[in-house]
């Protein structure tokens, strides 16, 4: 079937909760994807950073097919031989004591929220039912009812209330506001080290350091959502490492599976995930052997191919090249590693459509920002080609 037929089927029978570009992908390899009409595109979104390792990485593919032929799901009613190996790997990779495996990012965020509240009651001694969690304005942590309940994006909330109480919102990057919001009932501060969906917003230097210190002083858990910023995207394994802080808990997802399978995790100090007792929390698919085998291979690829280092070097070069584009539609270019936001003076969607027509796939975020986040395996020549196309499109040369 060709693009128009497939788009028509999807529009007719699917819920319209997305507004995708009309590019119907049939195959992917490394940084490239191919549509059903035979056109080739450089993927500059990488599935919101889930495909940092590149599409269909052969090592991860091998881990997937080998494990799929052995056993895929045992449930946590029994043990499987892959989970312990991934847990040990996450420990050595992050230095954290404990990990808990889930599937989607939102589920891992929910898991962290539950752990934080229970820690608040059982360890900190917050009176029952009073625990509060502080989050940031313009956050993105997923789409469950609890999570959209503390979003500041009206569309994410509209029509989905009533919401869970116990959340307080402070401006991102504002340490004084965070200090003012902390009360004896605060159990945690949940923050993205760089806000991705908000448009690649990098906080002022020293913010994470100051926030971590503040949390420590007030016995508040400092929890970082590294689902999109983590696993190499920013040029470090984790974005919070730029400020040399140690969070109490960290949430991972997306690239944890290299895009093959939904795998997410919370990793933490012993005291945090240690609050869970048998029966407190769970997931049928969480920690299944297929997911664990895939995740271990995905982490091996990140490490062996030195993808964070690539993101640091190539990202700095790419940022410089994008900043050099002189176009009246560009308001600001910002980013870290291979994660670049081009903020425009106008809606970004038509520009993304023009870029797609030139063979570059990217997606607008927050109306006016073009996010560039290619797989970290991208080559310098591919970056140069992409930047040249972006230049031509944004300066109206084509």
Interface mask (CB under 6 A) for ligand PLP, residues 146-185, using x and -? ----------------------------------------
Residue 227 Cβ, how far from ligand PLP at the closest point, in Å?
A: 4
Active site residue 128: no
Question: Which among 123-131, 135-143, 162-170, 302-310 is the span making contact with ligand PLP, rule CB under 6 A?
Answer: 135-143
CB neighbours of residue 239 within 10 Å: 26
196 binds ligand PLP (CB under 6 A): yes
Angle made by CA atoms 130, 133, 94, in degrees to the nearest 5: 130
Given the rule CB under 6 A, which of 55-63, 98-106, 345-353, 384-392 is the region that contacts ligand PLP? 98-106
The piece of 137-145, 162-170, 276-284, 300-308 that touches ligand PLP (CB under 6 A) is 137-145
The residue from 43, 110, 192, 364 that contacts ligand PLP (CB under 6 A) is 192
Is residue 43 a contact residue for ligand PLP (CB under 6 A)?
no
106 is a contact residue toward ligand PLP (CB under 6 A): yes
Minimum gap (Å) between residue 97 Cβ and ligand PLP = 22
> Considering 35, 140, 260, 363, which one is annotated as catalytic?
140
Nearer to ligand PLP, 255 or 272 (CB): 255
Contact residues for 198 (Cβ-Cβ < 8 A; gap 6+): 138, 139, 140, 172, 365, 366
Q: What whole-number distance in Å separates Cα of residue 42 and Cα of residue 64?
A: 25
User: 209: closest CA among 165, 178, 251?
Assistant: 178
67 is a site residue for ligand PLP (CB under 6 A)? no
- 220-239 residues in contact with ligand PLP (CB under 6 A) are 225, 227-228
User: Nearest 5°: phi and psi at 194?
Assistant: -135, 130
Q: Which is nearer to ligand PLP, 133 or 387 (CB)?
A: 133
**Site string (246-265) toward ligand PLP, x via CB under 6 A:** -------x------------
The catalytically annotated residue of 43, 225, 248, 363 is 225
Residue of 32, 41, 48, 238 that binds ligand PLP (CB under 6 A)? 48
- Element at 91 (helix H, strand E): helix 83-94
CA distance 249 to 355: 38
Token duo for residue 284: 């049928």
Residues forming beta bridges with residue 396, ordered by sequence position: none
x-or-dash string of contact with ligand PLP, 262-291, rule CB under 6 A: ------------------------------
Q: CA-CA distance, 371 to 303, in Å (whole number)?
A: 25
Reference 209, options 182, 249, 245; nearest CA is 245
- Identify whether 140 is a catalytic site residue: yes
Residues near 3 by beta carbon (within 8 Å), at least 6 away in sequence: 22, 23, 24, 35, 36, 37
Rounded Cα distance between 69 and 63, Å, is 10
Q: How many CA atoms lie within 13 A of 255 on its CB side?
A: 31
Active site residue 124: no
Binding site for ligand PLP (CB under 6 A): 48, 104-106, 109, 140-142, 192, 196, 225, 227-228, 253
């Amino acid at each position: 079937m060709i693009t128009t037929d497939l788009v028509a089927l999807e529009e007719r029978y699917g819920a319209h909760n997305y507004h995708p570009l009309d590019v119907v992908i049939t195959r992917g390899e490394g940084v490239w994807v191919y549509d059903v009409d035979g056109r080739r595109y450089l993927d500059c979104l990488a599935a919101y950073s889930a495909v940092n390792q590149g599409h269909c990485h052969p090592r991860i593919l091998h881990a997937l097919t080998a494990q799929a032929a052995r056993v895929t799901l045992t449930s946590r009613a029994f043990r499987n031989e892959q989970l312990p190996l991934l847990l040990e790997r996450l420990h050595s990779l992050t230095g954290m004591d404990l990990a808990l495996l889930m599937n989607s990012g939102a589920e891992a965020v929910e898991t962290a929220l539950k752990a934080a509240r229970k820690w608040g009651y059982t360890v900190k001694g917050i009176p029952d039912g009073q625990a509060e969690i502080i989050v940031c304005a313009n956050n993105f942590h997923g789409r469950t009812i609890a999570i959209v309940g503390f979003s500041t994006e009206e569309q994410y909330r509209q029509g989905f209330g009533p919401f869970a109480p116990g959340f307080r919102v402070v401006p991102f990057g504002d340490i004084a506001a965070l200090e003012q919001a902390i009360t004896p009932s605060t159990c945690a501060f949940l923050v993205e080290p760089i806000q991705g969906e908000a448009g690649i917003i990098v906080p002022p230097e020293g913010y994470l350091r100051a926030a971590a210190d503040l949390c420590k002083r007030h016995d508040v858990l400092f929890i970082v959502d590294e689902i999109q910023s983590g696993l190499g995207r920013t040029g470090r394994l984790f974005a919070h490492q730029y400020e040399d802080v140690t969070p109490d808990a960290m949430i991972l997802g997306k690239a944890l599976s290299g895009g093959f399978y939904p795998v997410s995790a919370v990793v933490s100090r012993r005291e945090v995930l240690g609050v869970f007792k048998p029966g407190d929390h769970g997931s049928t698919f969480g920690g299944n052997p297929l997911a664990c085998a895939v995740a271990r291979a995905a982490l091996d690829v990140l490490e062996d191919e030195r993808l964070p280092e690539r993101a640091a070097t190539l990202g700095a070069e790419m940022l410089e090249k994008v900043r050099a584009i002189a176009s009246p539609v560009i308001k600001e270019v910002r980013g870290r590693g291979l994660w670049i936001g081009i903020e425009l003076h106008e809606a970004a969607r038509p520009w993304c459509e023009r870029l797609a027509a030139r063979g570059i796939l990217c997606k607008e975020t927050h109306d006016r920002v073009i996010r560039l986040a290619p797989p970290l395996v991208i080559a310098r020549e591919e970056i140069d080609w992409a930047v040249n196309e972006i230049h031509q499109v944004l300066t109206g040369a084509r």
